[in-house]
Amino acid sequence: MSSDATKGLEGIVAAKTYLSDVRGDVGELIYRGYDINQLAGNIGYEETVYLLHYGKLPNQSELSALKTKLVSYRQLPQGVIDLIQSLPKDTVPMNALRTGISALGCFDSSSEDNSPESLQEKALKIIAQIPIVTAYFHLYRQGRPLVESRPDLNEAANFLYLINGGTEAEKDSVDTLDMCYVLHADHGMNASTFASRVTVATLSDIYSAVTSAIGTLKGPLHGGANEAALNMLREIGDVKNIPKFIEKAKDKNDPFKLMGFGHRVYKNYDPRAKVMQKTCHEVLAEIGKKDDKILQVALELEKIALKDDYFIEKKLYPNIDFYSGITLNAMGFPSTMFTPLFAVARTAGWIAHWKEMYLDPKNRIGRPRQLSVSYTHLRAHETEADL
């Protein structure tokens, strides 16, 4: 057994899962046997939820039944709506989301029932309600009235309908958001999935697991990187400033990192980043901003970084967050909504992981070892007076 603590659990196999396979060396992402490039743009979020949860793509009647179920769960308990509207308007949206989801558990009388049937219903309820909590806090903090969901709209279209205050979004915007959902739906043992798996392994309730996941995803090294990457590009401001930021990123004494670059597993290009880059160009061209300054900085930064020995040696490539922020910004989302949108999409994967665990009769509590730093040498010099 290695006596060195593995920093960040790098390379440690924490679980067996049938859900997704992140092939870092070759830059591939597989959902239940399907390459992400086969799925993105060809199936929607609801099909992805079905695929992750049931292991196969749905036929029309299975898809229709899932969509009907999700629509039926969109109504939030009034107590949760009241809570959302009691929060300070400058609450960080990920904190509002974490609070709202935790409150959903308090208003769900079946929250502590971990039977398969009850978990299945709660799983769909949470997938349906997490976007509503997100959208309602967004409307509330902008001082705008809440809007009832539209049962005829799919998840992406209904979310845009809500945050547009009851105006239906263009098909292109719906398709782009839907594709973002698919790309972000699952990703192996990422930090937020891993954190929530540790919660589930104690047989705690599913709402506690979602709260663990949301709190973990928020961090700028993880799901918060999409917002941090856009803020970084804005700070760079112009391609002439890029060399200065590249040097900062390479300076070991400078904590600055290129947000949206690097990945614990991908030591090749993140396949999702390639799809997001293409989508980013399309969205910006669509809205007549193909010469968008931020995109120009992003493209030039990527070009310079990918030729720089530091990034080549450390195998630092753009990850999904590098282009998702620019895309969501071009779609009109405020940057504080980027990570909540990531959470909306990733809920599909989080809950599929928990189903795997709750149904595993050999589930065990997660409990790694620690390397205790000996205090013997410190105690040796203490005297009575020190105690």
Active-site entry in 178, 270, 292, 321: 321
- Does position 274 interact with ligand SDX (CB under 6 A)? The reply is no
Is 176 or 319 the residue whose CB approaches ligand SDX more closely?
A: 319
If the CB atoms of residues 234 and 257 are measured against ligand SDX, the closer one turns out to be: 257
Stretch that binds ligand SDX, among 11-19, 50-58, 79-87, 217-225 (CB under 6 A): 217-225
Of 84-92, 137-145, 235-243, 315-323: span binding ligand SDX (CB under 6 A): 315-323
SS3 letters across 26-82: CCEEEECCEEHHHHECCECHHHHHHHHHHCCCCCHHHHHHHHHHHHHCCCCCHHHHH
Closest approach of ligand SDX to the CB of residue 9, in Å: 10
Which residue pairs from 60-69 have beta carbons closer than 8 angstroms and sit at least 24 positions apart in sequence?
A: 66/124, 67/154, 69/124, 69/128
Question: Is the Cβ–Cβ distance between 327 and 298 less than 8 Å?
Answer: no
Residue from 69, 222, 267, 293 in contact with ligand SDX (CB under 6 A): 222
Cα–Cα distance, 328 to 335 (Å, whole number): 8
Stretch that binds ligand SDX, among 52-60, 102-110, 115-123, 222-230 (CB under 6 A): 222-230
Per the annotation, the verdict on 53 as an active-site residue is: no
**C-alpha–C-alpha distance, residues 132 and 158, integer Å:** 9
For residue 380, give every residue at least 6 positions away whose Cβ sits within 8 Å of its Cβ, in sequence order, or none. Answer: none
- In the complex with ligand SDX, which residue's Cβ is closer, 172 or 254? 254
Please identify which residue in 32, 218, 263, 353 interacts with ligand SDX, judged by CB under 6 A: 263
User: What does the alpha-carbon distance between residue 222 and residue 347 come to, in Å, rounded to a whole number?
Assistant: 15
Report residue 21: phi and psi, to 5°. Answer: -130, 115
127 near ligand SDX, rule: CB under 6 A? no
φ, ψ of residue 319 to 5 degrees: the values are: -110, 180
Supply the minimum distance, in Å, between the C-beta of residue 264 and ligand SDX: 4
Token pair belonging to 304: 């310079």
Site string for ligand SDX, 8-47 (x = CB under 6 A): x---------------------------------------
What residues are paired with 31 via a beta bridge? 20, 34
Which position among 234, 264, 267, 293 is part of the footprint of ligand SDX (CB under 6 A)? 264
The least distance separating ligand SDX from the CB of residue 22, rounded to whole angstroms, comes to 6
Among 49, 70, 135, 225, contact with ligand SDX (rule: CB under 6 A) = 225
Name which of residues 157 to 196 contact ligand SDX (CB under 6 A). 187, 190-191
Alpha helix locations (H) across the chain?
36-39, 45-54, 60-72, 78-84, 93-106, 116-141, 155-163, 171-184, 191-201, 206-217, 225-236, 242-250, 271-286, 293-307, 309-313, 320-330, 338-358, 376-379
x-or-dash string of contact with ligand SDX, 316-355, rule CB under 6 A: x--x-x----------------------------------
CA nearest to 40, candidates 163, 186, 230: 186
Comparison of 35 and 168: residue with beta carbon closer to ligand SDX = 35
- Rounded CA-CA distance 370/265 in Å is 23
Q: Which of 200, 259, 284, 330: binder of ligand SDX (CB under 6 A)?
A: 259
Q: Could you say whether residue 249 binds ligand SDX (CB under 6 A)?
A: yes
Which one of the listed residues 53, 138, 184, 263 is annotated catalytic? 263
221 contacts ligand SDX (rule: CB under 6 A): yes
Q: How many CB atoms lie within 10 A of CB 34?
A: 16
**Is 187 a catalytic site residue?**
no
Binding residues for ligand SDX, rule CB under 6 A, total 21
CB closer to ligand SDX, 105 vs 325: 325
Q: Which of 353, 349, 354, 344 is nearest to 128 (CA)?
A: 344
Nearer to ligand SDX, 36 or 101 (CB): 36
* Minimum distance of ligand SDX from residue 321's CB (angstroms): 5
CB 79 within 8 A of CB 99: no
Q: Which residues are catalytic?
A: 263, 321
Residue numbers at the binding site for ligand SDX (CB under 6 A): 8, 187, 190-191, 221-223, 225, 249, 257-264, 314, 316, 319, 321
